[in-house]
Amino acid sequence: MTNSGNKPTIVLIGSYLVALVMDVDRIPVVGETVMARNFREAFGGKGSDMAVQAARLGAPVTFVGCVGDDDFGRAFIKLMQDEGVNIDLLQSRSELATGAGFIIKGGGKNIITIDIGANQLFSPAHVTKALPYMTPDSVVLIQLEIPLETALHAAMLGHQQHATVIFNPAPAQDMRNQDLSVVDIFTPNETEARVCLDLEPTDPTPDVEIARRLLALGCRTVVMTLGERGSLIVTPDDVIEVPSFEFDNIVDSNGAGDSFNASLATGLLEGKTLPEAARFANAVAGLCCTRWDTVPSYHTRQEVEDFIKQNS
C-alpha cells in the first residue's frame, strides 16, 4: 500500500512490546519466590495501542517501527493486519528480539520491567521512508518508547512536510535541552509534564504554569491530560479546560493515555477543532477505562458515537 498523497493518514511513529503478565496475592520481596496465576500474553507498547485505537475509530493508520523476527513480532503483524493498519513500513529485524515487558500484579500494586528490544533499532533513516505519507492533511503521531533521536527526527520531517505533529512524551524524560519548535501539539499527562521539566512528579506548581513552561521549549500548543478531570489546552494566547464525561464503571486506566492521543489525532484528521478533538478524545479515553487491559478495552467508532449521543 502506498500513499497517493490524496488520502490523509495518521503516521504512527511507534513501538511494540509484548506484555507477559501474571497475578499474585502480594508482590514478592527480593529473593522470594511466590506462586502466581493467570499468566497471559497481551499486546502492549504505546505505538501499538495508539494504532489499534485509531483504526477502531475509522482512521487510516500507517505504522512505522521495528519488531523482532520472532513469534512475538509475527503476532504483532497479525494484529495490525486484523485491525486494518498499514504496515508497509514495519521492519522485522533479527538482531534483537521484539520488545517485551514482564508485569507482576498483586494487592493493587505492580512491578514492571521492560526491554524495548528491537525498538532500539528504529533509526532516523527508517523514519525518512515515511515521507510520502507525511502530507499537509496528515497527522504524525509520536511517542517515546523509541530512541529520542528517532522521535525528534520524525517531528522535524512532519513539520517540514506541513503535517500536524503530535508528540506524546511518554515514557517521560527531561526535555529541557530539546528544541520542540517542530511540534504542533505536546501531549503529556500531569506527571509527564513535570518530568519533562525535570521537576518532581508531584510538584505543586499549577498545571497551567507547567504548560506555559513547556511552551517555552518551542511547541505551539500543550494538551495536558488530567484523568477524570478531562484535559487542558494551553497556547501562548489561551487556556481552555475541556471537561471529561461521567463514567460509573471505571475498572482499569491502563492505556487511557494512548487512547486519548489516538483519538485526538483521529479528530484532527477529520477536521475537528482542537477543543472538539480533545472532547472526543476525553470520551474515548474514558470509555477505555471501563474495560480491562489495553487493546481489549479500545472501543469502536459506533460505540463511541452511541456513548456521546447518550451523554450530550
Look at the alpha carbons of 112, 61, 147, 178 in this order and tell me if their dihedral is positive or negative: negative
From the list 49, 184, 207, 258, the catalytic residue is 258
Of 62, 57, 97, 21, which Cα lies nearest the Cα of 293? 21
CA 96 to chain centre: 23
Q: Which residues pair with residue 153 across a beta bridge? A: none
Q: Judge contact between 25 and 34, C-beta under 8 A.
A: yes
Look at the alpha carbons of 119, 38, 78, 75 in this order and tell me if their dihedral is positive or negative: positive
144 φ, ψ to 5°? -115, 30
Nearest 5°: CA angle at 119, between 95 and 186?
165
DSSP output for 13-36: E---EEEEEEE-SSPPPTT-----
137 an active-site residue? Answer: no
Give the residue numbers annotated as catalytic, written as ranges: 258
